[in-house]
Structure 1
């Protein structure tokens, strides 16, 4: 008898080095494996668990696959196996910043150094500006923790502009640090 193979959600992007698609409950073991590393958690917010357990992955997948609103968080997957190896998503701002969304991403250490995150971000930015109209989305931004030079390179290659530094605004694991802000406007892509 053949084991049941889950039908995975259709990708929003199929790129040479990765697939970006909604999460599926069967993604939990791979998500927990790749998210569970101190080098991943080091540059994530305090809401990102460390250690990252299977229960954390199951919670994230359920949170990221709402049935009553647009999906904003997606799995970055290996293009050969469609197995989760990272994550990318959007966090809408509110009030006077309602046309801005924060973009965030991470990639499992086994996949570092291949240009996957840069390719994923460039594709995802184009998808986001295509998905939401100019009345809904004018600007994407990202905050980069002090010392995360790899993320600075990814954002710069994707067209984001360094806009400033929020000095000593971050605190994680007993350490205070700066957070640099990078922005990309819809008109920057033209």
Structure 2
């Protein structure tokens, strides 16, 4: 994570079109971020959720709790039918967190991203409003 990466991230999160962006707080320290962007036009009932977490906090259930919280928030505060995430296929921690919350794998996006000069696969996961309505209450 370089200073240029940090500068780009700050510009992204202060974008006036950004719908929702939350710091992930652990003990009063911002250790990550979770946010969403609601689509427009034909995608206006769909939102993408994204997140990142500082490496020293991985494996503690923090992202799972953040995903549960934002999923409940999305389906109570907005009129949406679908929330989706597209993590890298090799990011098993992210995939497990999505699955624990109830996101369903929809497919593999082969060779769909380039990071550090490496072409990578991503996976599509979604959670529908009907999933949320039929689920037991989501507790952190």
Bin of the TM-score, shorter chain as denominator length? 0.7 to 0.9
Q: For residue 10 of structure 2, what is the aligned residue in structure 1?
A: 59
Alignment CA distance shift 1:121-1:130 (3 Å): same
What TM-score results when the alignment is normalised by the length of structure 2?
A: 0.83
Q: For residue 34 of structure 1, what is the aligned residue in structure 2?
A: none
Aligned residues: 133
Structure showing greater Rg = 1
Deviation string 1:71-93 (CA, Å, 9 cap, x unpaired) is 51110101x3x221100000222
Q: Which has the higher strand share?
A: 2
Deviation string 1:139-175 (CA, Å, 9 cap, x unpaired) is 0000011211111000000110000111111122211
> Unmatched 5+ residue regions in structure 1?
1-49
- After the TM superposition, list the runs of 4 or more consecutive aligned residues in structure 1 that deviate by more than 4 angstroms: none
CA distance, structure 2, for counterparts of residue 177 and residue 140 of structure 1: 23
What TM-score results when the alignment is normalised by the length of structure 1?
A: 0.63
Question: 2:125 matched to 1:179?
Answer: no
Q: For residue 5 of structure 1, what is the aligned residue in structure 2?
A: none
Q: Which of the numbers 113, 117, 138 marks the counterpart of 1:170?
A: 113
Deviation string 1:115-156 (CA, Å, 9 cap, x unpaired) is 1110111111101111112xxx11000001121111100000
Alignment CA distance shift 1:54-1:151 (3 Å): closer
Alignment CA distance shift 1:155-1:55 (3 Å): closer
Q: For residue 83 of structure 2, what is the aligned residue in structure 1?
A: 140
CA distance, structure 1, for counterparts of residue 112 and residue 12 of structure 2: 29
1:60 Cα shift?
A: 4.3
1:52 Cα shift?
A: 3.8
Compute the RMSD of aligned alpha carbons. Answer: 2.3
Question: 2:108 matched to 1:160?
Answer: no
